[in-house]
Structure 1
Amino acid sequence: MSEGPAAATKPRGILTWALWGAALVGVAAVLYIIVQSSSKPQAPVPGAPAASAPKTLMSKWTPPAKPTPSPDYVFYDQAGKPVRVADFKGKVVVMNVWATWCAPCKVEMPTLAKLQAAYAGQPVEVVAVSIDSEGEAANARLFIASHEPLKFYHDREMKLPFRLDPPASGAPTTVIYGKDGMEIGRVAGEADWSGAEARALVDKALAAD
Protein backbone atom coordinates (compact mmCIF):
# COMPACT_ATOMS: atom_id res chain seq x y z
CA MET A 1 0.00 0.00 0.00
CA SER A 2 2.94 2.37 0.69
CA GLU A 3 3.98 2.23 -2.93
CA GLY A 4 0.73 3.68 -4.17
CA PRO A 5 1.37 7.40 -3.45
CA ALA A 6 4.98 7.21 -4.61
CA ALA A 7 3.93 5.60 -7.83
CA ALA A 8 1.29 8.27 -8.27
CA THR A 9 3.75 11.16 -7.81
CA LYS A 10 6.38 9.75 -10.15
CA PRO A 11 4.59 10.69 -13.37
CA ARG A 12 4.08 14.20 -12.00
CA GLY A 13 7.83 14.59 -11.44
CA ILE A 14 8.56 13.40 -14.95
CA LEU A 15 5.98 15.87 -16.31
CA THR A 16 7.52 18.77 -14.37
CA TRP A 17 11.01 18.05 -15.73
CA ALA A 18 9.60 17.73 -19.23
CA LEU A 19 7.94 21.15 -18.93
CA TRP A 20 11.15 22.74 -17.66
CA GLY A 21 13.09 21.16 -20.47
CA ALA A 22 10.68 22.49 -23.07
CA ALA A 23 10.89 25.97 -21.53
CA LEU A 24 14.71 25.95 -21.67
CA VAL A 25 14.62 24.82 -25.29
CA GLY A 26 12.25 27.66 -26.07
CA VAL A 27 14.49 30.25 -24.38
CA ALA A 28 17.52 28.89 -26.26
CA ALA A 29 15.63 29.15 -29.53
CA VAL A 30 14.67 32.78 -28.84
CA LEU A 31 18.27 33.67 -27.92
CA TYR A 32 19.54 32.01 -31.10
CA ILE A 33 17.15 34.08 -33.22
CA ILE A 34 18.21 37.31 -31.50
CA VAL A 35 21.92 36.55 -31.98
CA GLN A 36 21.44 35.61 -35.60
CA SER A 37 19.41 38.76 -36.29
CA SER A 38 22.07 40.99 -34.76
CA SER A 39 24.94 39.33 -36.61
CA LYS A 40 23.39 39.42 -40.06
CA PRO A 41 23.19 42.66 -42.09
CA GLN A 42 19.68 44.03 -42.21
CA ALA A 43 18.07 44.29 -45.60
CA PRO A 44 17.03 47.85 -46.54
CA VAL A 45 13.40 48.66 -45.93
CA PRO A 46 11.60 49.31 -49.23
CA GLY A 47 10.94 53.02 -49.65
CA ALA A 48 13.24 54.08 -46.79
CA PRO A 49 15.60 57.01 -47.58
CA ALA A 50 19.24 56.07 -48.06
CA ALA A 51 21.83 57.43 -45.62
CA SER A 52 23.20 60.71 -46.96
CA ALA A 53 26.91 60.87 -47.77
CA PRO A 54 29.05 63.68 -46.30
CA LYS A 55 29.07 66.76 -48.49
CA THR A 56 32.31 67.39 -50.33
CA LEU A 57 33.90 70.78 -50.84
CA MET A 58 32.87 70.89 -54.49
CA SER A 59 29.25 70.11 -53.63
CA LYS A 60 29.23 73.42 -51.72
CA TRP A 61 31.28 75.39 -54.27
CA THR A 62 29.43 78.35 -55.81
CA PRO A 63 30.98 80.38 -58.66
CA PRO A 64 29.86 84.02 -58.93
CA ALA A 65 26.89 84.82 -61.16
CA LYS A 66 28.91 87.70 -62.65
CA PRO A 67 32.52 88.96 -62.44
CA THR A 68 32.83 90.23 -58.88
CA PRO A 69 35.76 92.17 -57.41
CA SER A 70 36.81 91.88 -53.80
CA PRO A 71 35.09 94.35 -51.45
CA ASP A 72 36.78 97.68 -50.88
CA TYR A 73 36.65 97.12 -47.14
CA VAL A 74 39.28 97.54 -44.45
CA PHE A 75 40.20 94.93 -41.87
CA TYR A 76 43.38 94.75 -39.79
CA ASP A 77 46.44 92.52 -39.67
CA GLN A 78 48.10 91.22 -36.51
CA ALA A 79 50.13 94.43 -36.18
CA GLY A 80 46.99 96.56 -36.40
CA LYS A 81 47.73 97.75 -39.93
CA PRO A 82 44.68 98.32 -42.18
CA VAL A 83 44.42 95.79 -45.01
CA ARG A 84 42.18 95.18 -48.02
CA VAL A 85 41.95 92.07 -50.18
CA ALA A 86 43.17 94.25 -53.06
CA ASP A 87 46.50 94.60 -51.23
CA PHE A 88 47.19 90.94 -52.10
CA LYS A 89 46.74 91.48 -55.84
CA GLY A 90 49.04 89.18 -57.78
CA LYS A 91 48.33 86.35 -55.32
CA VAL A 92 45.56 83.80 -55.10
CA VAL A 93 43.66 84.75 -51.94
CA VAL A 94 41.67 82.25 -49.92
CA MET A 95 39.73 84.52 -47.58
CA ASN A 96 37.98 82.82 -44.70
CA VAL A 97 35.41 84.66 -42.56
CA TRP A 98 35.31 83.07 -39.11
CA ALA A 99 34.76 83.63 -35.38
CA THR A 100 35.63 81.89 -32.13
CA TRP A 101 31.93 81.46 -31.30
CA CYS A 102 31.48 79.50 -34.55
CA ALA A 103 32.18 75.79 -33.91
CA PRO A 104 32.42 74.77 -37.62
CA CYS A 105 34.88 77.64 -38.17
CA LYS A 106 37.21 76.23 -35.53
CA VAL A 107 36.84 72.69 -36.88
CA GLU A 108 37.95 73.64 -40.40
CA MET A 109 40.77 76.02 -39.38
CA PRO A 110 43.46 73.30 -39.21
CA THR A 111 42.67 72.38 -42.82
CA LEU A 112 43.17 76.00 -43.88
CA ALA A 113 46.52 76.00 -42.09
CA LYS A 114 47.51 72.86 -44.02
CA LEU A 115 46.46 74.53 -47.27
CA GLN A 116 48.68 77.53 -46.55
CA ALA A 117 51.60 75.26 -45.62
CA ALA A 118 51.17 73.29 -48.85
CA TYR A 119 51.75 76.48 -50.89
CA ALA A 120 54.71 77.83 -48.94
CA GLY A 121 56.82 80.05 -51.19
CA GLN A 122 54.06 80.36 -53.80
CA PRO A 123 51.77 83.36 -54.43
CA VAL A 124 48.91 81.98 -52.34
CA GLU A 125 47.63 83.71 -49.23
CA VAL A 126 45.12 82.20 -46.83
CA VAL A 127 43.55 85.21 -45.11
CA ALA A 128 41.49 84.14 -42.09
CA VAL A 129 39.53 87.21 -40.98
CA SER A 130 38.01 87.06 -37.51
CA ILE A 131 34.67 88.81 -37.03
CA ASP A 132 34.91 88.49 -33.25
CA SER A 133 34.11 91.47 -31.07
CA GLU A 134 36.94 93.54 -29.63
CA GLY A 135 36.45 91.72 -26.34
CA GLU A 136 37.05 88.33 -27.99
CA ALA A 137 39.83 89.46 -30.31
CA ALA A 138 42.56 88.30 -27.91
CA ASN A 139 41.12 84.78 -27.86
CA ALA A 140 40.85 84.80 -31.64
CA ARG A 141 44.49 85.87 -31.90
CA LEU A 142 45.60 83.01 -29.64
CA PHE A 143 43.54 80.53 -31.63
CA ILE A 144 45.17 81.55 -34.92
CA ALA A 145 48.60 81.49 -33.28
CA SER A 146 48.03 77.78 -32.61
CA HIS A 147 47.43 77.18 -36.31
CA GLU A 148 50.65 78.27 -38.00
CA PRO A 149 51.46 79.38 -40.63
CA LEU A 150 48.17 81.32 -40.63
CA LYS A 151 48.27 84.99 -39.68
CA PHE A 152 45.74 86.90 -37.61
CA TYR A 153 43.35 89.32 -39.32
CA HIS A 154 40.50 91.09 -37.56
CA ASP A 155 37.36 92.80 -38.81
CA ARG A 156 36.82 95.24 -35.93
CA GLU A 157 33.46 96.45 -37.20
CA MET A 158 32.22 92.91 -37.94
CA LYS A 159 30.77 94.03 -41.29
CA LEU A 160 32.85 92.06 -43.79
CA PRO A 161 30.17 89.36 -44.32
CA PHE A 162 27.74 92.06 -45.44
CA ARG A 163 30.24 93.74 -47.75
CA LEU A 164 30.64 90.64 -49.89
CA ASP A 165 28.62 90.52 -53.10
CA PRO A 166 26.34 88.71 -52.45
CA PRO A 167 26.57 88.96 -48.65
CA ALA A 168 27.77 85.89 -46.80
CA SER A 169 24.96 83.65 -45.61
CA GLY A 170 26.80 82.86 -42.39
CA ALA A 171 30.09 81.73 -40.91
CA PRO A 172 32.29 80.18 -41.96
CA THR A 173 32.35 81.50 -45.49
CA THR A 174 35.44 81.07 -47.65
CA VAL A 175 35.96 83.08 -50.84
CA ILE A 176 38.74 82.45 -53.36
CA TYR A 177 40.01 85.42 -55.36
CA GLY A 178 42.21 85.10 -58.41
CA LYS A 179 45.47 86.97 -58.91
CA ASP A 180 43.45 89.76 -60.57
CA GLY A 181 41.40 90.28 -57.40
CA MET A 182 38.19 88.87 -58.91
CA GLU A 183 36.13 86.27 -57.08
CA ILE A 184 36.44 82.75 -58.48
CA GLY A 185 33.92 81.19 -56.14
CA ARG A 186 33.02 80.54 -52.53
CA VAL A 187 31.98 77.91 -50.03
CA ALA A 188 29.36 78.57 -47.38
CA GLY A 189 29.85 76.39 -44.33
CA GLU A 190 32.57 74.09 -43.08
CA ALA A 191 34.80 72.35 -45.61
CA ASP A 192 38.03 70.37 -45.76
CA TRP A 193 40.61 72.71 -47.30
CA SER A 194 43.50 70.29 -46.97
CA GLY A 195 42.41 67.85 -49.66
CA ALA A 196 42.75 67.44 -53.41
CA GLU A 197 39.59 69.41 -54.23
CA ALA A 198 40.89 72.57 -52.57
CA ARG A 199 44.32 72.21 -54.18
CA ALA A 200 42.71 71.75 -57.60
CA LEU A 201 40.85 75.05 -57.17
CA VAL A 202 43.99 76.89 -56.06
CA ASP A 203 46.13 75.32 -58.80
CA LYS A 204 43.61 76.39 -61.43
CA ALA A 205 43.66 79.95 -60.08
CA LEU A 206 47.45 79.97 -60.07
CA ALA A 207 47.58 78.80 -63.69
CA ALA A 208 45.16 81.53 -64.86
CA ASP A 209 46.62 84.60 -66.53
Structure 2
Amino acid sequence: MKIKYKILTLFIILGILFFSEISLKAENLDFYFYTYNGKKFKLSDFNGKYVLLNLFASYCPPCMIELKVFQRLYDTCGSKGLQVVSLMIDREGAPLLPKIVSSRNLTYPVGLATSEVFKIFNDFSITPTTYLLDPKGNRLGKFVGYKNYEEWIQSLRQYVKCN
Protein backbone atom coordinates (compact mmCIF):
# COMPACT_ATOMS: atom_id res chain seq x y z
CA MET A 1 0.00 0.00 0.00
CA LYS A 2 2.86 2.41 0.84
CA ILE A 3 4.42 1.72 -2.56
CA LYS A 4 1.18 2.73 -4.33
CA TYR A 5 1.15 6.05 -2.46
CA LYS A 6 4.80 6.67 -3.24
CA ILE A 7 4.23 5.96 -6.93
CA LEU A 8 1.09 8.12 -6.98
CA THR A 9 2.96 10.94 -5.22
CA LEU A 10 5.82 10.65 -7.70
CA PHE A 11 3.44 10.91 -10.67
CA ILE A 12 1.70 13.92 -9.15
CA ILE A 13 5.02 15.69 -8.57
CA LEU A 14 6.23 14.88 -12.09
CA GLY A 15 2.92 16.09 -13.53
CA ILE A 16 3.15 19.37 -11.66
CA LEU A 17 6.74 19.90 -12.78
CA PHE A 18 5.91 19.03 -16.38
CA PHE A 19 2.91 21.33 -16.66
CA SER A 20 4.52 24.20 -14.77
CA GLU A 21 7.51 24.01 -17.17
CA ILE A 22 5.18 24.33 -20.16
CA SER A 23 3.38 27.36 -18.78
CA LEU A 24 6.64 29.02 -17.70
CA LYS A 25 8.13 28.44 -21.11
CA ALA A 26 5.26 30.21 -22.89
CA GLU A 27 5.08 32.97 -20.27
CA ASN A 28 8.81 33.68 -20.37
CA LEU A 29 8.75 34.26 -24.12
CA ASP A 30 6.20 37.05 -23.95
CA PHE A 31 7.44 40.63 -24.21
CA TYR A 32 6.46 44.05 -25.53
CA PHE A 33 8.13 45.82 -28.40
CA TYR A 34 7.56 49.00 -30.36
CA THR A 35 7.72 49.30 -34.11
CA TYR A 36 9.68 52.06 -35.82
CA ASN A 37 6.51 54.20 -35.94
CA GLY A 38 5.62 53.73 -32.25
CA LYS A 39 3.02 50.98 -32.51
CA LYS A 40 3.11 48.73 -29.43
CA PHE A 41 2.96 44.95 -29.79
CA LYS A 42 3.18 42.06 -27.38
CA LEU A 43 4.51 38.76 -28.67
CA SER A 44 1.37 37.03 -27.38
CA ASP A 45 -0.65 39.21 -29.80
CA PHE A 46 0.40 36.64 -32.38
CA ASN A 47 -0.73 33.55 -30.44
CA GLY A 48 -2.37 31.09 -32.79
CA LYS A 49 0.25 31.71 -35.48
CA TYR A 50 3.75 30.48 -36.05
CA VAL A 51 6.14 33.39 -35.52
CA LEU A 52 9.46 34.00 -37.24
CA LEU A 53 11.26 36.35 -34.86
CA ASN A 54 14.24 37.84 -36.64
CA LEU A 55 17.02 39.65 -34.77
CA PHE A 56 19.05 41.85 -37.10
CA ALA A 57 21.53 44.73 -37.10
CA SER A 58 21.74 47.80 -39.30
CA TYR A 59 25.46 47.18 -39.90
CA CYS A 60 24.88 43.61 -41.14
CA PRO A 61 24.59 43.38 -44.97
CA PRO A 62 23.06 39.86 -44.97
CA CYS A 63 20.46 41.11 -42.46
CA MET A 64 19.46 43.95 -44.76
CA ILE A 65 19.03 41.54 -47.68
CA GLU A 66 17.08 39.06 -45.57
CA LEU A 67 14.52 41.71 -44.55
CA LYS A 68 13.19 41.60 -48.12
CA VAL A 69 13.08 37.80 -47.91
CA PHE A 70 10.99 38.11 -44.74
CA GLN A 71 8.65 40.54 -46.50
CA ARG A 72 8.14 38.00 -49.27
CA LEU A 73 7.49 35.26 -46.68
CA TYR A 74 5.00 37.54 -44.93
CA ASP A 75 3.23 38.26 -48.23
CA THR A 76 3.14 34.58 -49.19
CA CYS A 77 2.56 32.89 -45.82
CA GLY A 78 0.98 35.56 -43.63
CA SER A 79 -2.55 34.47 -44.46
CA LYS A 80 -1.60 30.84 -43.88
CA GLY A 81 -0.63 31.08 -40.23
CA LEU A 82 2.82 32.72 -40.23
CA GLN A 83 3.67 36.02 -38.55
CA VAL A 84 7.02 37.65 -39.23
CA VAL A 85 8.60 40.08 -36.73
CA SER A 86 12.03 41.70 -37.14
CA LEU A 87 13.74 43.45 -34.24
CA MET A 88 16.89 45.52 -34.65
CA ILE A 89 19.46 44.88 -31.93
CA ASP A 90 21.73 47.90 -32.36
CA ARG A 91 20.58 51.07 -30.59
CA GLU A 92 23.01 53.20 -32.60
CA GLY A 93 21.09 52.26 -35.72
CA ALA A 94 17.69 53.24 -34.29
CA PRO A 95 17.52 56.53 -36.25
CA LEU A 96 18.00 54.49 -39.44
CA LEU A 97 15.06 52.18 -38.77
CA PRO A 98 12.34 54.24 -40.53
CA LYS A 99 14.53 54.50 -43.64
CA ILE A 100 15.35 50.77 -43.52
CA VAL A 101 11.63 49.93 -43.36
CA SER A 102 10.50 52.39 -46.05
CA SER A 103 13.31 51.66 -48.51
CA ARG A 104 12.43 47.96 -48.43
CA ASN A 105 8.64 48.47 -48.36
CA LEU A 106 8.31 46.36 -45.21
CA THR A 107 4.71 45.94 -44.04
CA TYR A 108 5.18 43.43 -41.23
CA PRO A 109 6.12 44.53 -37.66
CA VAL A 110 9.70 45.84 -37.50
CA GLY A 111 11.00 47.43 -34.33
CA LEU A 112 13.77 47.72 -31.79
CA ALA A 113 14.80 44.88 -29.51
CA THR A 114 14.31 45.74 -25.85
CA SER A 115 16.35 44.60 -22.87
CA GLU A 116 13.57 42.08 -22.26
CA VAL A 117 14.24 40.54 -25.68
CA PHE A 118 17.94 40.21 -24.85
CA LYS A 119 17.12 38.47 -21.56
CA ILE A 120 14.78 35.97 -23.21
CA PHE A 121 16.83 35.33 -26.36
CA ASN A 122 20.25 35.38 -24.74
CA ASP A 123 21.68 32.54 -26.82
CA PHE A 124 22.52 34.47 -29.97
CA SER A 125 25.81 36.07 -30.92
CA ILE A 126 25.58 36.45 -34.69
CA THR A 127 23.15 38.39 -36.84
CA PRO A 128 20.94 37.55 -38.44
CA THR A 129 19.50 35.07 -35.96
CA THR A 130 15.89 34.00 -36.33
CA TYR A 131 13.70 32.00 -33.98
CA LEU A 132 10.66 29.99 -34.98
CA LEU A 133 7.94 29.96 -32.34
CA ASP A 134 4.88 27.71 -32.33
CA PRO A 135 1.31 29.08 -32.08
CA LYS A 136 1.54 28.94 -28.26
CA GLY A 137 4.76 30.94 -28.17
CA ASN A 138 7.22 28.11 -27.53
CA ARG A 139 10.54 27.89 -29.37
CA LEU A 140 10.65 25.38 -32.20
CA GLY A 141 13.94 26.34 -33.77
CA LYS A 142 16.82 28.74 -34.05
CA PHE A 143 18.37 29.69 -37.38
CA VAL A 144 21.72 31.47 -37.52
CA GLY A 145 22.81 33.30 -40.63
CA TYR A 146 21.17 34.34 -43.87
CA LYS A 147 18.64 32.13 -45.67
CA ASN A 148 17.09 32.85 -49.04
CA TYR A 149 13.37 32.53 -49.72
CA GLU A 150 13.52 28.92 -50.94
CA GLU A 151 15.55 27.86 -47.89
CA TRP A 152 12.98 29.47 -45.58
CA ILE A 153 10.09 27.78 -47.40
CA GLN A 154 11.90 24.45 -47.00
CA SER A 155 12.49 25.08 -43.27
CA LEU A 156 8.89 26.12 -42.67
CA ARG A 157 7.03 23.62 -44.81
CA GLN A 158 6.30 21.14 -42.01
CA TYR A 159 4.57 23.95 -40.08
CA VAL A 160 3.07 26.32 -42.64
CA LYS A 161 1.94 25.51 -46.18
CA CYS A 162 3.04 28.59 -48.10
CA ASN A 163 3.01 27.37 -51.70
State if a TM-score over 0.5 links the two structures. yes
| Number of the residue aligned with 2:93 | 136
Q: Indicate whether 1:190 and 2:146 are aligned.
A: yes
Higher helix share: 2
* Inter-partner Cα distance in structure 1 for 2:118 and 2:146: 16
| Number of the residue aligned with 2:57 | 99
What SS does the corresponding residue of 2:104 show, helix, strand or coil? coil
| Number of the residue aligned with 2:104 | 147
Higher strand share: 2
Q: Contact 1:127–1:150 at 8 Å: present in 2 too?
A: no
* Inter-partner Cα distance in structure 2 for 1:80 and 1:91: 23
| Number of the residue aligned with 2:160 | 206
What SS does the corresponding residue of 1:128 show, helix, strand or coil? strand
TM-score (norm 1): 0.56
Q: Give the superposition deviation at 1:127.
A: 0.5
Q: Indicate whether 1:160 and 2:123 are aligned.
A: no
- Which ranges of structure 1 fall in alignment gaps of 5 or more residues? 1-65
* Inter-partner Cα distance in structure 1 for 2:95 and 2:108: 13
Q: Contact 2:52–2:132 at 8 Å: present in 1 too?
A: yes
| Number of the residue aligned with 1:175 | 131
Amino acid at match of 2:45: D
| Number of the residue aligned with 1:43 | none
Q: Give the superposition deviation at 1:200.
A: 3.4
- Which ranges of structure 2 fall in alignment gaps of 5 or more residues? 1-20
What are the Cα deviations for residues 78-108 of structure 1, in whole angstroms up to 9, with x where unaligned? 4423322222001111110012112221132
Between structure 1 and structure 2, the one with the greater Rg is: 1
TM-score (norm 2): 0.70
